[in-house]
């Protein structure tokens, strides 16, 4: 590396360090309520980031810092109050900031920035397994560091805390990993995400000890890099934070506005509906994680509206919380029997309302993720992928925006299964799923359409741009080497893309993409074809 490149790396590290401060303040905000102190802390960290970025000519960071400052200025002008629009904008900017350095291993990307996220520490009894995991995680641009002894691990912990720790329960001896993890967590204000591993099946006392040591996940038998990466990304969610969305249905504008302000100040995005009769059309557009519903409204009772909502399959699992002055316990219980999940009585403490909404919405998201996602890859399943395509089509037609839809298929996949076995086939599928998740936008929807076939919905994207993006992903995916015998394996995929024209139905879009995919397969594979 030349002196000039080393100097650039040094400057980039300074900017990265400052960007990390912004992310850490934001992460703290997700666990509490917005106030002047947090506004000041985020403003100060962002201003420092912009100054460093300007000084060291890091244009992307400078632009993002300026945009965050603009958002914070809007909040200040709004008497320090958050609004749903500023929460959404801030979340997107923070997400982009967290992603700025994740493409460091991509030769097509000219950025020399290392990843923003902290490394993952891996402490396993088997050093070869640990090093293999480090290499696999590096494929997906996640920095990891393996340790072979306790002393090296403690030294690293003293220097810098990781994003997460993967700990063998028997690291350095039977049960010693659990004890080490417990010692590491002592005195920390916020526990570090800890993922435990055991080569053999474990008993309940061992798992209880893991939970008490901050264990969020427990792997046994095998430790797959893609599964590990998926869990780490969930537990270190700064970069992927998606605000909770709450629909407030209340005929009293004053009450609805009060509820909205309380939730907005907790970083929760809201939409208020004064006319309950419009509920179903608003639900389809807003897609809330949770509904707050008044009991007594002139047009209809809250319990009646809850029944109507529950008649729609898409909203069966969306939590409904009644918020009412009704204090008769029998009537509250009756209301909860009519499609409700909780009953809160006015007036209610803001902290009580926020905690209830966060808990209910988070659990509902977790449940929904299990229902609509494919168990192997974590991508959306076939049915939900088509539902997302229908939603994107509706918005594209309404807003007169472009929409592209792509179908991908791994080439010669049967040969992979026959030659290397189904576990290797699953590994290839999971690797492509991760590859797509990391290289497509947060606004794109990725699904496992079936077997080795994937579907991608790309809103606000003309077919030409979709072809370019997926062609770059195709080229990079072909470079991955999967360790195998007698030689390493590499895989490719073919892709067909179509763009929404006129008011074409979902069925037409899927047929067109499938036809383009068929042409790609019969044109030699490992290529992208446009319908």
Q: What is the CATH number of the domain that holds 182?
A: 3.40.50.2300
| pLDDT exceeds 60 at position 433 | yes
Lowest mean pLDDT among 4-8, 90-94, 421-425: 4-8
Strand partners of residue 456: 406, 446
Using the 8-state DSSP alphabet, how is residue 379 labeled?
Answer: S
Q: State both tokens at 149.
A: 């002894």
Question: Which token pair is 405?
Answer: 């839809």
Q: Render pLDDT for 164-222 as a digit per residue (tens, 0 to 9).
A: 999 999 998 988 999 999 998 887 777 888 999 998 888 888 899 899 888 888 988 87
Q: Which domain holds residue 289?
A: 245-371
**Side-chain half-sphere of 165: how many Cα atoms within 13 Å?**
29
Rg over CA atoms, the chain: 25
Highest averaged pLDDT of the listed ranges 105-119, 234-248, 397-411, 414-428: 397-411
Peptide bond into 347 cis (omega under 30): yes
Q: 284-340 pLDDT, tens per residue?
A: 888 899 999 988 888 888 888 888 898 888 888 899 999 888 777 888 888 788 778
> Is the model more confident about 103 or about 225?
225
Q: How far apart are the first and last CA of the chain?
A: 45
106 band by pLDDT with thresholds 50, 70 and 90 = very low
- Considering the domain architecture, whether residues 392 and 501 belong to the same structural domain is answered as yes
The mean of the pLDDT values for the chain is 84
499: confidence class by pLDDT, cuts 50, 70, 90: very high
483 with 526, same domain: the answer is yes
Asked whether residue 281 is domain-assigned, the answer is yes
Q: Is residue 111 included in any domain, yes or no?
A: no
d(CA 133, CA 137): 6
**Separation CA 526–CA 475 (nearest Å):** 9
pLDDT tens digits, one per residue of 465-474: 999 999 999 9
How many domains in the chain? Answer: 4
117 closest CA partner among 134, 93, 95: 95
Least confident of 95-109, 117-131, 288-302: 95-109
Give the integer Cα–Cα distance in Å for 280 and 276.
9
Which residue from 273, 294, 270 is spatially nearest to 282, judged by alpha carbons?
A: 273
Residue pair 269/313 in contact by the 8 Å Cβ criterion: no
Q: Specify whether 393 is located in the same domain as 485.
A: yes
pLDDT in tens, 218-250: 988 877 666 777 677 767 654 445 788 999 999
Residues with Cβ within 8 Å of residue 197, at least 6 apart in sequence: 124, 166, 167, 168, 169, 218, 219, 220, 223
Q: For residue 190, list its beta bridge partners.
A: none
DSSP-assigned beta bridge partners for residue 247: 271, 291
What is the Cα–Cα distance from 104 to 81, expressed in whole angstroms?
37
Residue 113: pLDDT band with limits 50, 70, 90 = very low
412 and 350 in a single domain? The answer is: no
Return the active site residues.
452
502/398 same-domain check? yes
Pick the closest to residue 327 from 302, 308, 349, 344 (CA basis). Answer: 344
Residue 395 belongs to domain with CATH number: 3.30.70.270
Identify the domain boundary among 39, 64, 99: 99
357 has a pLDDT exceeding 90: yes
| pLDDT on residue 100 | 64
Q: Do 218 and 278 belong together in one domain? A: no
pLDDT class for 140, splitting at 50, 70, 90? Answer: low
Domain contains 115: no
Instruction: Quote the percentage of the chain above a pLDDT of 90.
Output: 30
- 509 plus 387 within the same structural domain: yes
- Residue 108 belongs to some domain of the structure: no
Instruction: Please list, in sequence order, all residues whose beta carbon lies within 8 angstroms of the beta carbon of residue 146, skipping any fewer than 6 positions away.
Output: 122, 123, 124, 127, 130, 131, 133, 134
Domain identity same for 189 and 261: no
Assess if residue 240 is contained within a domain.
Answer: no
328 and 392, same domain (yes or no): no
185 within a domain of the structure (yes/no)? yes
Q: Domain for residue 112, yes or no?
A: no
Asked, for residue 113, whether it belongs to a domain, the answer is no
Q: pTM of the full predicted structure?
A: 0.65
Question: CA angle, corner 449, sides to 515 and 397, nearest 5?
Answer: 70
Q: Are residues 340 and 221 in the same domain?
A: no
């Amino acid at each position: 590396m030349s002196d000039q490149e080393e100097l650039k790396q040094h400057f980039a590290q300074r900017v990265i360090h400052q960007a990390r401060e912004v992310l850490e303040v934001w992460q703290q905000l997700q666990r509490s309520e917005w106030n002047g102190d947090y506004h000041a802390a985020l403003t100060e960290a962002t201003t420092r980031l912009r100054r460093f970025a300007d000084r060291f000519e890091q244009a992307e960071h400078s632009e993002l810092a300026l945009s965050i400052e603009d958002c914070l200025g809007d909040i200040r002008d709004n008497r320090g109050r958050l609004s749903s629009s500023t929460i959404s904008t801030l979340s997107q900017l923070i997400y982009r900031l967290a992603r700025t350095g994740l493409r460091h291993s991509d030769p097509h990307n000219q950025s020399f920035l290392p990843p923003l996220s902290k490394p993952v520490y891996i402490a396993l009894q088997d050093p070869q397994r640990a090093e293999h995991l480090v290499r696999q995680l590096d494929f997906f641009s996640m920095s990891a560091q393996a340790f072979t002894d306790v002393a090296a691990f403690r030294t690293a912990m003293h220097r810098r805390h990781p994003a997460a720790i993967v700990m063998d329960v028997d690291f350095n001896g039977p049960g010693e990993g659990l004890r080490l993890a417990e010692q590491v967590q002592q005195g920390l204000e916020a526990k570090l995400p800890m993922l435990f591993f055991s080569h053999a099946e474990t008993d309940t006392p061992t798992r209880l000890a893991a939970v008490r040591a901050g264990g969020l996940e427990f792997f046994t038998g095998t430790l797959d890099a893609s599964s590990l990466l998926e869990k780490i990304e969930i537990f270190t969610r700064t970069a992927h934070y998606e605000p909770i969305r709450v629909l407030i249905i209340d005929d009293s504008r004053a009450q609805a506005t009060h509820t909205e302000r309380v939730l907005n100040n907790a970083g929760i995005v809201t939409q208020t509906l004064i006319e309950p009769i419009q509920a179903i059309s608003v639900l389809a557009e807003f897609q809330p994680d949770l509904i707050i519903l008044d009991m007594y409204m002139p047009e209809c009772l809250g319990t009646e509206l809850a029944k109507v909502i529950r008649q729609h399959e898409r909203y069966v699992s969306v939590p409904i919380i009644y918020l009412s002055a009704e204090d008769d316990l029998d009537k509250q219980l009756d209301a909860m029997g009519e499609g409700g999940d909780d009953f809160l009585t006015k007036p209610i403490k803001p902290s009580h309302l926020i905690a209830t909404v966060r808990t209910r919405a988070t659990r509902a998201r977790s449940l929904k993720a299990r229902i609509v996602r494919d168990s192997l890859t974590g991508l959306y399943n076939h049915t939900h992928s088509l539902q997302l395509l229908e939603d994107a089509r509706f918005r594209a037609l309404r807003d007169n925006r472009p929409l592209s839809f792509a179908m991908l298929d791994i080439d010669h996949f049967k040969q992979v299964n026959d030659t290397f076995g189904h576990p290797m086939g699953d590994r290839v599928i999971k690797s492509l799923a991760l590859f797509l998740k990391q290289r497509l936008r947060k606004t794109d929807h990725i699904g496992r359409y079936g077997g080795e076939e994937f579907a991608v919905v790309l809103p606000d994207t003309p077919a030409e741009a979709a072809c370019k993006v997926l062609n770059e992903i195709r080229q990079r995916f072909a470079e991955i080497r999967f360790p195998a015998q007698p030689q390493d394996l590499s895989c490719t995929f073919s892709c067909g893309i179509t763009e929404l024209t006129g008011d074409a139905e979902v069925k037409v879009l899927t047929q067109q993409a499938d036809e383009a995919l068929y042409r790609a397969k019969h044109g030699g594979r490992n290529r992208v074809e446009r319908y």
